[in-house]
Structure 1
Amino acid sequence: MKDTIDLHKTIDESQQGEALMMASNNNGKKLYLESYGCQMNFSDSEIVASILIGEGFSTTRDSSIADVILMNTCSIRENAEVRVRNKLSQYQKQKRNNPKLIIGILGCMAERLKKDLLEEEKLVDLVAGPDAYRDLPGLIQEVESGQKAVNVLLSREETYADISPVRLGSGGVTAFISIMRGCDNMCSFCVVPFTRGRERSRNPETIVKEAQELFNNGYREVTLLGQNVDSYRWNISKKDEIIDAEKPTVNFAQLLEMVALVNPDLRVRFSTSHPKDMVDDVLHTMAKHENICKYIHLPVQSGNSAVLKRMNRGYTREWYLNRIEAIKRIMPDCAISTDIITGFCGETQAEFEDTVSIIKEVKYNFSYMFFYSERPKTLAERKFEDDIPLAVKKSRLQEVIDLQHVLSKAHNKSNVGKTYKVLIEGTSKRSEKDAYGRNTQYVTCIFPIGAHKVGTYVNVKISDYTTTTLIGEIV
């Protein structure tokens, strides 16, 4: 999963009108919900909002008037945990003036640090793991009765497939659809398998139904989410055996086509792909359908096979480059982004240079780049020494950032003079006269909106660029 996107968001009150109609027993209590980390966390927050609105809660963007504050958290990197702890300390000050205020923590950090946050630091009243959101109404009642409440049990079945998420902060144009939960890839640096449990896929019929309902309600883009979407398998066992002969089997390429066929005006994106599982069938499906966006996030992490082996990534440099070759051959116009970790355990200068060389060879459109941060309970913590000095980690990181900056700017410069179909997602923060949206390659475009409305498609001719943005006009 693309863990590098910072989704620190709260519920937008303008989005909750329809959601409030779901609640038949408004209890007068206000919920403030914050999300940190990956797209999956933001998607989970929409499920949490749906569950609690159904129990009579209304939402607020003002934490000072909330009865319940829930923080959906991320444990991928140490910095994310530090930010959440600081915010929890602020909310504790608020609790001194309002003793009835309930503060809860959800998600990955909840599962990993339940004892520290609940008992030792006393920063929260409630802890709920990613598979325990249905239990939130009961957990809140436990806290109201004077107890601390915890449920971090992981499930092999829970997918929340029957819950219609409350769409938060999307402007009614784009939405996430979770197609699977958990992860079976035991990358040595990652805590996700321990915080989100084993991999399980969601019934494709419920996914297509959700996509159709979103389109009917005016949404024009969906992003299919999973820790590893390429391993999506419905009604197929890990041994490639059919589980129920009376039901169809569906892999990710087939699911992708099913969602694309909902309507040609519904754009489809997905995240995240895993190099060891990406097959040509997915690429051919993308090439076949114009409304499947030509953009793939394919995390490499390192360009050196020995480092990849220590990371337990399940592929070599050669395998990864084979997948890149397939993407460029089948979809020459496809944009590719990646994740890079510098300074992993034992990384030599020569091994780091292999990462630099793979960036130059692939010429990524953009990258999410970090230096290695050891996480507790991971295989890397148990097996390897975090032996690269921080100064070296940061120096190597800066080198790949500088290189990617050059590549991204060159990619955007090459777009000048081209015309792209862009979905208008909103107005620019700098000027309401300008709109913003993304082209099929996931690059943000800024252009005068004129008489056009949010949620419509326009053709934009690019005339200028920055490192991260294309600038143009509607033609």
Structure 2
Amino acid sequence: MHNFLESKPSKKLYIETLGCAMNVRDSEHLIAELREKENYSLTEDVKEADLILINTCSVREKPENKLFSEIGAFEKIKKKGAKIGVCGCTASALGEKILKKAKNVDFVLGARNISKISQVIHQPKAVEVALDYDDSLYMFSKNVNSNFKALLNISIGCDKHCAYCIVPHTRGKEISIPLDLLLKEASKLASSGVKELLLLGQNVNNYGARFSVPHPKIDFTQLLSELSKIEGIERIRFTSPHPLHMDDAFLEEFAKNPKVCKSIHIPLQSGSTKILKSMKRGYSKEWYLNRIDYLKKLLPDVGISTDIIVGFVGESEEDFMESMSVLEYVRFDTLYSFIYSPRPFTPASTWEEGKVPKEIAKQRLQRLQDLHKKILTENSQAELGKVHKILIENNKQSEIETFSEGRSDTNRLVKIEDKFFNLGEFVDIKVTHVRNATLYGSPC
């Protein structure tokens, strides 16, 4: 959850952001549009807000219940005349149902319709949730929050139809944003002091598969190369790639391009080829491990994170152990793990045969996480003595400790005790000790 804060003018905006980095970026667009076109400024105090936006996530468990609970809580404390708007993926999924169930909501704005915010705030009970609406060419207002890190959407929507995922139903078909717009936006960000870009898309490495206007042929590998030419941009990260589109050319560009950070999220979901087929993921365990092996051949110290779902419909103990074996083999640096829970509008939500009892799923999740804790401890110990270039992101001081912290090229968080550095500064740090899984180091 993210709350964005700024100062003054006349009307006040409070925004609550739930879910992924795509939603964070959408909130940045909403804030910038309302600031420039409607004279809103941000507030942390919902009680003083003239406009309350809830930017929703449909991937979270029981998103509908949580949304209406939030609406009810805001209704009790908002000032007289304040508007409530529901945006994002749950807005796309539910549409007019939100207005019928929550009479105090003023408008509903789907994830594919964010550019319409300055219109819908003036249209009582507006519902804009069209999945075929195309704002891939829309130039959003500039976000004036100066920072050394920035998010950059390179595509919208998703063409994959994984059996468990609601995203295609909430964000529509995949459309790539034209290269010239991306280069223009990235150059603007660099000139404002941004050093690190995080490229966003549901399947970033499928970039170039479809544009809404005539466009020269380009793929994600070429996009990385073009963005890395921009002066001032020193680091490029991206999320989330799809294993299916990890060809040799992409992995080679990832490995050799010095501006592309050597950490990558490669969602596994399951280590069982049988379950992957049922999930409609489009690849096998063997393909996944082949891509991992090639990547580690190019970059032995690469940082890899993943997602794993346990308890998917039809998952046997043998299937689960396949996931455990992949975890042991790859030794992921970061693991996002979940118990499967059905989402509306998805094929798997209607499957009755093969459901895994909740208690068994909970036990499997615990076993998976216990194994990962062991791996993470061992991975952290292996970092001792290594030198990393850290981008300083925070300075913190408390009664207990004083430190700066930042992330390495491989996305490891490193703390530097009893030191403050300038935010956005690069510092070479040697890892000196480890506490739990946290790395600590000293300047070289």
Q: TM-score, normalised by structure 1?
A: 0.88
Please say if residues 115 and 135 of structure 2, whose CA atoms lie closer than 8 Å, have aligned partners that are also in contact. no
Secondary structure of 1:209 counterpart? helix
Please say if residues 86 and 108 of structure 2, whose CA atoms lie closer than 8 Å, have aligned partners that are also in contact. yes
Query: Could you tell me how far 1:459 is from its partner in structure 2?
Result: 0.3
For 1:141 and 1:379, how far apart are their aligned partners in 2? 37
Amino acid of the structure 2 residue aligned with 1:324 = I
- Structure 1 range deviating more: 372-381 or 206-215: 206-215
Please say if residues 115 and 140 of structure 2, whose CA atoms lie closer than 8 Å, have aligned partners that are also in contact. no
Q: Indicate the residue corresponding to 1:187 in structure 2.
A: 162
Query: Could you tell me how far 1:217 is from its partner in structure 2?
Result: 1.2
Change (3 A) 1:156 1:265: closer
Change (3 A) 1:235 1:51: same
Q: Deviations over 1:248-305 (max 9, x none)?
A: 3211001011111213752100000111111121221122222210011000100001
Query: What's the Cα RMSD here?
Result: 2.1
The answer on 1:9 being equivalent to 2:5 is no
For 1:261 and 1:449, how far apart are their aligned partners in 2? 36
Runs of 5+ consecutive residues of structure 1 not aligned to the other structure: 1-7, 21-25, 238-242
Give the alignment of 1:305-344 within 5 angstroms.
Answer: 305-344=273-312
Runs of 5+ consecutive residues of structure 2 not aligned to the other structure: none
Work out the number of aligned pairs and report it: 442
Give the alignment of 1:17-416 within 5 angstroms.
Answer: 28-55=10-37, 56-95=39-78, 98-122=79-103, 124-143=105-124, 148-155=125-132, 157-159=134-136, 161-166=138-143, 172-233=147-208, 244=214, 248-263=216-231, 266-385=234-353, 387-416=355-384
Secondary structure of 1:163 counterpart? coil
Q: Deviations over 1:110-143 (max 9, x none)?
A: 1112344211243522110012222222221123
Q: Indicate the residue corresponding to 2:406 in structure 1.
A: 437
Please say if residues 161 and 206 of structure 1, whose CA atoms lie closer than 8 Å, have aligned partners that are also in contact. no
The answer on 1:460 being equivalent to 2:429 is yes
For 2:233 and 2:203, how far apart are their aligned partners in 1? 26
- Structure 1 range deviating more: 191-200 or 57-66: 57-66
Change (3 A) 1:60 1:421: same
Secondary structure of 2:163 counterpart? coil
Amino acid of the structure 1 residue aligned with 2:327 = I
Q: Deviations over 1:221-257 (max 9, x none)?
A: 11000000111006779xxxxx84xx53211001011
Query: Could you tell me how far 1:382 is from its partner in structure 2?
Result: 3.0
Change (3 A) 1:366 1:467: farther
Question: Identity percentage over the alignment?
Answer: 36
Query: Could you tell me how far 1:427 is from its partner in structure 2?
Result: 1.1
For 1:229 and 1:187, how far apart are their aligned partners in 2? 16
Secondary structure of 2:245 counterpart? coil
Q: TM-score, normalised by structure 2?
A: 0.94
For 2:330 and 2:274, how far apart are their aligned partners in 1? 19
Amino acid of the structure 2 residue aligned with 1:222 = L
Please say if residues 37 and 80 of structure 1, whose CA atoms lie closer than 8 Å, have aligned partners that are also in contact. no
Change (3 A) 1:451 1:315: closer
For 2:441 and 2:255, how far apart are their aligned partners in 1? 26
- Structure 1 range deviating more: 398-407 or 425-434: 425-434
For 1:164 and 1:142, how far apart are their aligned partners in 2? 21
Query: Could you tell me how far 1:78 is from its partner in structure 2?
Result: 1.6
